[in-house]
Structure 1
Amino acid sequence: MSFPVQPLLATTQAKSLVELQLIQPLWNQYGGLYRAHIDDGRSVIAKWVVPPADQGGLGHQRKLRSYQVELDWYRHHAEYCGEVSRVPAYLGEHLLDNGTLMVLEDLATAGFSPLSQDQGHSHLEAMIRWLAGFHARFMGSAPDGLWEQGCYWHLATRPDEWAAMEPGPLKDAAVAIDTQLQGARYQSLVHGDAKVANFLGNDFGQVAAVDFQYVGGGAGIRDLVYLLGSVLSDDALEAHAFELLDRYCQALIEQLRAKGWDVAQLDAVLAEQSALFPFAWADFERFLQGWKPGHWKLGRFSQAMTRRALALL
């Protein structure tokens, strides 16, 4: 199947395609992510979604929904992020007989490049500030057109993984943990897949985020937990996790104060973020235990946070 060149040219109003580079295939062969150089000197990112025809089941439906959510995110929400939480600009889309072509700003032209795992350590504070700015910007916003509950691992979309878990206290408490997170008073939009691989950085220590297939409503602390777990080892988590939680909270408070929130509201936000921290860890541990029981993220710190969450219940 050949890349849809004419729809790309129609969307970008270019006359010809100079060069096309595959950046990476999409998960489970649902298409590809491309960098397209066009005749006016620009380069753009083209996300070509072509779902396999022979797929079925809950996982397939979740992926189809995720690409529609991402399209709605870029159409209607991304422009409000601003420079604090940089994302690619939406340039347009073209609906195809067998999928969708979405065209986005190429952040490489603004000096951004993908972060390696090692760079994740040096850019961690910038990524935390990105999350704090994102959550503050959308605090209280309705997830219109997005996942009602963001994050790719939340319980309602992962019944198969829950069923695969070994019997035990965490499996028994899965609904109660999910209820704690859904019941957060200060809901925002969450990125939903805020790992290092979905951030780009520049030479000035700034970051931008991509891949918004699982953006939706939720408690922002879930994004922070997922980010920390994607960057830090067990030793580093044990040494620095609560310090980094404090830095996230302070950055969140600064952004909310700038929006005019009063002291009582800010104190309540701080208290809720801290209270939900172990529940967010336990929730992700629940997913991993069902999806891949031997995963490296199932470490000492995650287990300690899970025990704390179960004790709090």
Structure 2
Amino acid sequence: MKASEALALAKAADPDVVSVSSQTQIARLWAGMGSIVRLQCKDSSGNSRTIIAKHINCSNPQSFGDQRKAASYRVEATFYASDYCKELSDFGICCRGLHTEDNGKGDITILMDPLPNHTINFMNGDVAEAAIRSVAKLHAYFWGNEKANAAVAAGLAQQGTYWYLDTRPDEYDSMSNRGLSGKLKKVAYAIDEALKEHKFQTICHGDLKACNMSLSSNPSYVTFVDFQYLGKACPAKDLAYLFCCGMDVDGDFMGRQEREYLQLYIDELLLNNVGRDKKIPLPTLEDLKEALDLAYCDLFRWMLGWGIWGNSFLQERVERVLSDGTIEKLCQ
């Protein structure tokens, strides 16, 4: 962008900025819809200041996929301009939003503070536990239908995550009608409905890959970015994606590690006051395992139409759930 444009944006984010010394593109957005730029600035006292600018151009999206992406960027802009972002950034869960611009025609700019550390490349051990604590803290903030519905009314997505069935008709149609894929295809809508109506609801991040987080200033937690798919969902959907696509799990994940991670998640929910109100109960280990069975099947349904990736335990888990009668019980 022109130097004058960069300075105007930086001053909108921080009126004390007097100059922009450099602009560095650090990422391009999906489908050529823009870029992320790092602005190195100086304030009136001569101090250095870094501002991240996310520029989005999603005007007149044609394909179903591009329409989904355009809607997701509007959700993200809404989040960074909200009190939700301000309060969650105080907890270290997200970067502080500084300024947003949206001309209503698909040109959107989001200005924010940078991540406190480099993005994560390998997630296990203490880093994995930090991620789980942060997911629990995010979920606790929006826990329950009342809070989640209020967030949707404020502009977050009616459905969180990017793989939910309503937004993936092409992938559903691409699923084979035979074998495991055929079995899952037959119950896909029942699973989707069971997750929508599940007794536990919150606002999910929706894309918990390692590259969308860094260690926070408190190493017991992480800081998230990429809030495009922030919306209402059963919390197990975030956990399923994190376990399958975000973490580096060991060979005994289903026998031991999953249980330990779920207990850590429950402990963090409790620390953040979930369960203190009897109307909004704290989930048990058994509650979360049942919800995860639904969420694992839901995630694998999308993968069977799009491409399988992530940790290999997922297919084994789905095969078991579909063969032992678990799914029929959960979808009743």
Give per-residue Cα distances to partners, 1:113-171, cap 9 Å, x unaligned: 21112x55440001000011111111121222111110000000000000001111101
Q: Does 1:185 align with 2:167?
A: no
Q: Does 1:272 align with 2:290?
A: no
Distance 2:249 2:50 in 1: 37
Q: Structure 2 matches for 1:284-303, cutoff 5 A?
A: 284-292=299-307, 295-297=308-310, 299=312, 301-303=313-315
Structure 1 residue 306 displacement after superposition: 1.5
Give the alignment's TM-score, normalised by structure 2: 0.83
Paired residue secondary structure (1:123): helix
What is the match of residue 228 of structure 1? Answer: 243
- Structure 2 CA distance for partners of 1:70 and 1:269, relative to 1, 3 Å: farther
Distance 1:16 1:169 in 2: 60
Q: Is the 8 A contact 2:70 2:106 kept in 1?
A: no
Structure 1 residue 246 displacement after superposition: 2.3
Q: Does 1:218 align with 2:222?
A: no
What is the match of residue 32 of structure 2? Answer: 29
Query: What is the root-mean-square deviation in Å for CA atoms of aligned residues?
Result: 2.5
Structure 1 residue 217 displacement after superposition: 0.4
Q: State the one-letter code of the partner of 2:120.
A: L
Q: Does 1:116 align with 2:124?
A: no
Q: Percent identity?
A: 29
Q: Is the 8 A contact 2:124 2:249 kept in 1?
A: no
Give the alignment's TM-score, normalised by structure 1: 0.88
Match of 1:260 among 269, 273, 276: 276
Match of 1:104 among 99, 112, 116: 112
Structure 2 stretches lacking a partner, 5+ long: none
What is the match of residue 317 of structure 2? Answer: 305
Q: Structure 2 matches for 1:1-313, cutoff 5 A?
A: 4-12=5-13, 13=15, 14-40=17-43, 41-51=48-58, 56-76=62-82, 77-81=84-88, 83-84=90-91, 86-95=93-102, 99-108=107-116, 112-117=117-122, 119-140=123-144, 141=147, 142=149, 143-144=152-153, 145-167=155-177, 168-202=182-216, 204-205=218-219, 206-229=221-244, 230-233=246-249, 235-239=251-255, 240-257=257-274, 260-262=276-278, 265-266=280-281, 271-292=286-307, 295-297=308-310, 299=312, 301-310=313-322, 311-312=325-326, 313=328
Give per-residue Cα distances to partners, 1:154-198, cap 9 Å, x unaligned: 000000000001111101111011111111122110001112111
Distance 1:182 1:115 in 2: 31
Extract structure 1 runs of 4+ deviating beyond 6 A: none
Structure 1 residue 212 displacement after superposition: 0.2
Q: Is the 8 A contact 1:199 1:209 kept in 2?
A: yes
Corresponding pairs, count: 303
- Structure 2 CA distance for partners of 1:72 and 1:98, relative to 1, 3 Å: closer
- Structure 2 CA distance for partners of 1:272 and 1:80, relative to 1, 3 Å: farther
Structure 1 stretches lacking a partner, 5+ long: none
